[in-house]
Amino acid sequence: MDMQGYSQIPEAKMAPVRSDLDGVLTNVLAHVGLRNPRDRPGAYKDTGDGAIFVMPAKDIARLVDPLLEHVHTALVQYDRERPASAPAIRLRASVHVGPLSLPDHRGDAINEVCRLLDSQVVRAGLTMAREHRGGFLAAVVSEAAFRRTVRAGRTPDLDKERFLRATARVHGKAFEEPCWLFVPQMTPQALAPLISPEPLGGGGGTTAPTSSASPNNPAGAVFQFNGEMTDTTVINKVGTMRIDRRRI
């Protein structure tokens, strides 16, 4: 989770808003049956205005389905209940899988999930979500993660037709990888002319890195959120809602 625009909100609102978002994510993880990474040493990485979740590889499919849809539902609910004075939050998310060293959970997969989150395609996806559907989430799934989840048939409520195949690029970085964009409430057909992804496979497309896991570097699923905060945006929630009314 990396809150876009977090530094632009008043300092007095930063801690309460981050606390509310942490509560949203904690409740969603519990609702879908995923262990909170905060409960495992080294599995939660605070990035200042965001966070990286390191999850067991066995959980990779559930990071895509049902987690993404539930996060969006949670954001919708929270927007209905948040105090008018509370800044709103819109989230970018990225999902990737790859080997990480133990016990520090270091490896290329961490760098790659951060690049995916910072890519132009998921930024554009969030803009489209906000402008065309009033949505609050855009997620990008790496080719490696997509192959092990959606393409493998492990996401019963999210099939391939819900994703837009695109290329993840980052301004100023030598990074270009195939990816799959998911924006709740928007079809790939609606996204395609707005995102203008370049098709992969015919030439010029790259393939996702496929590093091998080993006993010292077991495969791990990596999940990162990024939130966009503005005073006219949104935070929402799944299940029982706890709104932090220390305000702001």
3 state SS for the chain: CCCECHHHCCHHHHHHHHHHHHHHHHHHHHHCCCCCHHHCCCCEEECCCCEEEEEEHHHHHHHHCCHHHHHHHHHHHHHHHCCCCCCEEEEEEEEEEEECCCCCCCCHHHHHHHHHHCCHHHHHHHHHHHHHHCCCEEEEEEHHHHHHCCCCCCCCCCCHHHCEEEEEECCCCCCEEEEEEECCCCCHHHHHHHHCCCCCCCCCCCCCCCCCCECCECEEEEEEEEEEEECCCCCCCCCCCCCCCCCC
**The domain 6-199+219-230: what is its CATH number?**
3.30.70.1230
Domain ranges of the chain: 6-199+219-230
Return per-residue pLDDT of the chain as tens, 248 residues. 666 567 778 888 888 888 888 999 999 999 999 999 999 888 998 876 778 999 999 999 999 999 999 999 999 898 889 888 887 788 999 999 999 887 888 889 999 999 999 999 999 999 899 888 888 999 999 999 999 999 999 999 999 999 999 999 999 999 999 999 999 999 999 999 888 644 443 333 333 344 444 445 555 566 666 554 333 222 233 333 333 333 33
